[in-house]
Amino acid sequence: MSDVQKNEEGAASAAPSSSDTIIEVKDLWKVYGRDPKRILTDKYRKLHKDDIQEKTGNIVAMREVNLKIKKGEFYIIMGLSGSGKSTLVRNLIRLVNPTAGKITVKGRDVTKMKEDELLDFRKTTYGMVFQHYGLMPHMTILDNAAYGLKVRGLPKGEQLAKAMKALETVGLKGWEDYYPGNLSGGMQQRVGLARALANDPDILLMDEPFSGLDPLIRRQMQDEFVDLQDKLKKTIVFVTHDLHEALKLGDKIAIMRNGEVVQIGTPEEIVTQPANDYVREFVQDASPAKVVTAGTIMREPEVLLYAWEGPKTALTILQREKRRGAFVVDKGHKLLGLANVDRLEKYLKGRIDVDESKISSSVVRPIPSVTEETIIEELFSMVSANPYPIPVTSEDNKLLGVVKTDDIFETISPDGGEDDV
């Protein structure tokens, strides 16, 4: 087991409890050739795969792979050609049988299943989408989407109803009576996805599903799939050799090389904390702006106004701290907006009897906020349109921190500036 994987096993952030782990892979090997188990002996198991092949003729496709995948996680397996990523996915459903190791899916040991049990488990647990769509050219789009349900033996009416719902989910309503030859490559891939979704699987396995598409269509499919996953919350194991695709789609990424997992982490961790020179070279062209999140670089606001303090107090604080404005929160620390010196002075000007018990809502200007998960790239337009830091809020609108302009640009370059909130 690599140090990276050992670290992941011990890290709280990367070691989910048994209740939310849907797939667990332990010490998985796949060796091709004569008497493959001999490669697991002390004589060979520590040798480089090239040395093993030279001495024995055996090919090590996977070596001591360990993974934990959470329910609802978009998990990327990536690496260059020959890294073992597709072999790993095929082992998960035992289209390829492992040489050694254990694969637990939904609490069941897949490696010990008999053939009939395995076939039933595949039908009810997995949906598979591969690079080649595998559509039947003589069947309508609806019948193609229903094919997996037909194999399961569901009644015809139920097949078509579920398939139609899946087609609607992937945006193909109105195309159900056409044939694959009438559809573009991207639309055909959607049919393949609909066929997988029609069975309502717990786990989607996707092996290079977009790699055969033109770049523009591929980006569109990626965008659509991000939106779709937000709604479906499926557990997805997605194989790709494309780093930018992995960074865009993945919650967690496992990078493979020569059959081994060399690093596991979030997209941000992979880009900003590469485990070794291989990963560092792999990600050298990746922009931190595409993976680093607001939650990572946010800080406590230097000045904060409280709604119950009153407008005179708020103006006094801003003038004393030499600030143009500051964010206003209520007693629950929920963000109300921004109050600045100009608005407060106009509000107070000429007033004798001012309600000092709270800052008037007419003084507070609503301001857009972001979540902790918002990537830096999405903040650029907000920075250009707003002279103040960007507030970071929780789902219930509590102010968690602020992102300052200089912090954004220091993340992607060594230079930054000053802000005054």
Q: What is the pLDDT of residues 148-183, one digit of tens each?
A: 888 888 899 999 999 999 999 888 999 999 999 999
Predicted confidence at residue 288, as pLDDT, reads 81
Predicted confidence at residue 9, as pLDDT, reads 43
Predicted confidence at residue 417, as pLDDT, reads 40
The last residue of one of the domains, among 228, 258, 287, is 287
Is the same domain home to 275 and 396? no
Is the same domain home to 77 and 214? yes
Residues linked to residue 104 through DSSP beta bridges, in sequence order: 24, 109
Is the same domain home to 79 and 203? yes
Residue ranges in the chain modelled with pLDDT below 50: 1-3, 5-18, 352, 414-421
Q: Tell me if 365 sits within 8 A of 339, measured CB to CB.
A: yes
The last residue of one of the domains, among 238, 258, 287, is 287
Gap between the Cα atoms of 220 and 118, Å rounded: 35
Q: What is the distance of C-alpha 7 from the center of its chain?
A: 21
> What CATH code is carried by the domain that includes residue 354?
3.10.580.10
Q: Tell whether 197 is covered by a domain.
A: yes
Is the same domain home to 178 and 253? yes
Is the same domain home to 134 and 221? yes
Q: Which domain holds residue 159?
A: 3-15+71-102+110-287
> What CATH code is carried by the domain that includes residue 192?
3.40.50.300
Predicted confidence at residue 66, as pLDDT, reads 96
Predicted confidence at residue 139, as pLDDT, reads 92
Is the same domain home to 183 and 280? yes
Tell me the CB-side half-sphere exposure of residue 58, using CA atoms within 13 A: 25
Structural domain count of the chain: 2
Predicted confidence at residue 186, as pLDDT, reads 84
Is the same domain home to 265 and 116? yes
Is the same domain home to 279 and 394? no
DSSP code per residue over 175-216: -TTS-GGGS-HHHHHHHHHHHHHHT--SEEEEESTTTTS-HH
Residues linked to residue 304 through DSSP beta bridges, in sequence order: 327
Q: Tell whether 321 is covered by a domain.
A: yes
Predicted confidence at residue 23, as pLDDT, reads 96
Is the same domain home to 118 and 222? yes
Q: What is the pLDDT of residues 23-59, one digit of tens each?
A: 999 999 999 999 999 999 999 999 999 999 999 999 9
Is the same domain home to 148 and 282? yes
Predicted confidence at residue 189, as pLDDT, reads 85
Gap between the Cα atoms of 233 and 112, Å rounded: 29
Predicted confidence at residue 30, as pLDDT, reads 96
Gap between the Cα atoms of 282 and 274, Å rounded: 9
Gap between the Cα atoms of 120 and 92, Å rounded: 15
